[in-house]
């Protein structure tokens, strides 16, 4: 089959039927108050759909539905193998609808269609498939009890899960939660970001088509301060699983303390250091990787390599290589399969990024490439990939998460200084180390306070390894068998023999 062209994608977009209603108990429904918000594409400002703006009444109804479904046991007490089969069908349906899902994602949040199709959708289906595959292979435990006792240590689904997710990888982040949450037998209410609700709404129907019973997966679009908060303070939600900013993550901890002490699992922000030592074996590979680490997904990546720490002796040479590599990342029409940098998610986010570029200038960093809004005539929200040199780690552009394609270059003189700068951050999500010295690589990796460390690469990973943060990047882990801890309660049952 011929790969789709820009005009193929445009004509598919013109024919797309977009569902904007909430999904509760197996059916699309308007918000109780019949309120909507407009979903506008950052690609060119086109109107996409009116989307249900859910509030506390919708949250309450969805929680009742989820609780009733959970208690009825249609899913929560079904056999692991039957849950696995439904999850595998769900994953297959995501793959079979990949073009539609990719198109929705691109139109909704501006990422390049090639990434949506080749990264977001396959990673999302992989998360569902991997978790489904795992669920009939996870065994409980028998405790080391005295002869006249039998101690069973079992894991049970926790009940009603509210999953609140961001807009940068809307489908993938949702599926990192849905995989283990659904496979474990929970009932889920998914709250997508108001900036990117469309794929979450579409996959809710696919879950039902796959045989996951109505009421097990419900989707409530709407704002964070309305429906998001309503779920987070609800007395009958058992756990909140969240991906988003550190600011809102902290708010969720407060909501939990003020309500029913629901479990709160947080995947939050990052300001990840990418450390390049002078003895790196392949500086060209490191430079290509450093450019991708800040430009991929317009820099709207929690693990973006936004602080490039370079050993002083190679700084000038290496920076020249990174600038050259970054020239290969140019904003363009996200529906063009050749485009590798799309639009920022909306005008507000674009203005945030431009304000950080302004802050970089003001704090005395030197702009070496980029720094401007482009393609304004399209009606979209595009910013050039940007590099600041001469950054000190105390500057705002080195401390705060910009969530856009803005790279801060910081110079260091020793391993100790590199580690100290790398760890001088409220965040601890990810880090990378480039060196040919295996001991230096390991010792640096051990010293870095981050949930993921990459050596001689950036952003490696799949479903087999846990993903999450140290410090204010969050708690708990997505992906791998460790993710199941968030969706289950541990029970000890003592039997007198
Ligand atoms: P955000 O915190 O603004 O919003 C995330 C979600 O929380 C949205 O659905 C939003 O509607 C909801 N929300 C907002 N206020 C709320 C409230 N008061 N109560 C309940 N819910 C509320 O984050 P964002 O701008 O959508 O996403 C970007 C952030 O996500 C960045 O900080 C990024 O680092 C982070 N992120 C982290 C990871 C990770 O795995 N660690 C992955 C992707 C993104």
471: left (phi over 0), alpha (psi -120 to 50) or beta: left
Give the integer Cα–Cα distance in Å for 335 and 105: 11
Q: Of all atoms in ligand 1, which is nearest to the CA of residue 469?
A: 41
DSSP three-state, residue 319: helix
Ligand 1, atom 43, residue with closest C-alpha: 302
Q: CB-hemisphere CA count at 13 Å for 385?
A: 29
User: How wide is the angle at C-alpha 403 spanned by C-alphas 397 and 405, nearest 5°?
Assistant: 80
Catalytic residues: 267
8-state DSSP, 467 = B
pTM over 0.85: yes
Ligand 1 centre to CA of 281 (Å) is 37
Question: Residue 77 to residues 70, 81, 175, 213: CA-CA distances in angstroms?
Answer: 8, 11, 22, 12
157-209 pLDDT, tens per residue?
Answer: 999 999 999 999 999 999 999 999 999 999 999 999 999 999 999 999 999 99
What pLDDT does 1 receive? 75
Between the CA of 349 and the centroid of ligand 1 the distance, in Å, is: 13
- Angle among Cα 160, 476, 116 to the nearest 5 degrees reads 80
pLDDT at residue 2, rounded to an integer: 84
Ligand 1 midpoint to CA 98 (Å): 25
Residues 6 or more apart in contact with residue 304 via CB below 8 angstroms: 270, 272, 293, 294, 296, 403
Extract the residue ranges of the chain whose pLDDT is less than 50: none
Tokens of 291: 């450019």
Domains in the chain: ranges and CATH: 6-268+474-494 (3.40.605.10), 273-463 (3.40.309.10)
The residue whose C-alpha atom lies closest to atom 39 belonging to ligand 1 is 267
Nearest Cα residue to atom 15 of ligand 1: 224
Is 331 in a helix, a strand, or coil? strand
Protein residues whose CB sits closer than 6 Å to any atom of ligand 1: 164-168, 173, 191, 193-194, 223-225, 228-229, 232, 243-245, 248, 251, 267-270, 302, 401, 403, 429, 469, 473-474
Half-sphere exposure in the Cβ direction for 216 (13 Å, CA)? 30
Per the CB < 8 A criterion, the answer to whether 369 and 389 are in contact is no
């Amino acid at each position: 089959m011929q790969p789709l062209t820009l005009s193929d994608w445009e004509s598919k977009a013109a024919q797309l039927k977009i569902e904007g209603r909430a999904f509760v108990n197996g059916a699309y429904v308007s918000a109780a108050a019949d309120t909507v918000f407009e979903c506008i594409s950052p690609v060119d400002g086109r109107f996409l759909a009116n989307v249900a703006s859910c509030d506390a009444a919708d949250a309450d109804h969805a929680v009742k539905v989820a609780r009733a479904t959970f208690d009825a046991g249609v899913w929560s007490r079904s056999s692991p193998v039957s849950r696995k089969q439904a999850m595998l069908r769900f994953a297959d349906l995501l793959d079979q609808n990949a073009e539609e899902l990719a198109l929705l994602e691109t139109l909704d949040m501006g990422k390049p269609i090639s990434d949506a199709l080749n990264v977001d959708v396959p990673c999302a289906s992989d998360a569902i498939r991997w978790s489904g595959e795992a669920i009939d292979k996870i065994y409980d435990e028998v405790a080391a009890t005295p002869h006249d006792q039998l101690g069973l240590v079992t894991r049970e689904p926790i009940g009603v899960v509210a999953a609140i997710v961001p807009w940068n990888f809307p489908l993938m982040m949702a599926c990192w939660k849905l995989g283990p949450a659904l496979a474990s037998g929970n009932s889920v209410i998914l709250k997508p970001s108001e900036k990117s609700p469309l794929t979450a709404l579409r996959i809710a129907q696919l879950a039902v088509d796959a045989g996951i019973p109505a009421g097990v997966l419900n989707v409530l679009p709407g704002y964070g301060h309305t429906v998001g908060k309503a779920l987070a303070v609800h007395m009958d939600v058992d756990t909140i699983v969240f991906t988003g900013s550190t600011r809102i993550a902290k708010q969720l901890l407060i909501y939990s303390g003020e309500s029913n002490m629901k479990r709160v699992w947080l995947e939050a922000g990052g300001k990840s250091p990418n450390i390049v030592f002078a003895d790196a074996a392949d500086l060209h590979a490191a430079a290509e990787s450093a450019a991708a680490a800040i430009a991929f997904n317009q820099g709207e990546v929690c693990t973006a390599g936004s602080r490039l720490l370079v050993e002083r002796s190679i700084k000038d040479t290496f920076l020249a290589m990174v600038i050259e590599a970054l020239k290969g990342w140019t904003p363009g029409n996200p529906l063009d399969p050749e485009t590798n940098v799309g639009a920022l998610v909306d005008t507000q986010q674009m203005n945030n990024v431009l304000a950080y570029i302004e802050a970089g200038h003001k704090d005395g960093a030197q702009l070496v490439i980029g720094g401007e809004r482009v393609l304004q005539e399209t009606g979209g929200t595009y910013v050039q990939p940007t590099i600041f040199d001469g950054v000190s780690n105390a500057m705002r552009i080195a401390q705060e998460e910009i969530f856009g394609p803005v790279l801060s270059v910081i110079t260091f003189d020793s391993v100790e200084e590199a580690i100290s700068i790398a760890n001088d951050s409220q965040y601890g999500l990810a880090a990378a180390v480039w060196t040919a010295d295996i001991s230096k690589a390991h010792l640096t990796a051990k010293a870095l306070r981050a949930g993921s460390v990459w050596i001689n690469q950036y952003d490696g990973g799949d479903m087999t390894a846990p993903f999450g943060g140290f410090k204010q990047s969050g708690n708990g882990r997505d992906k791998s068998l460790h993710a199941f801890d968030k969706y289950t309660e541990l029970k000890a049952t003592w039997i007198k023999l």
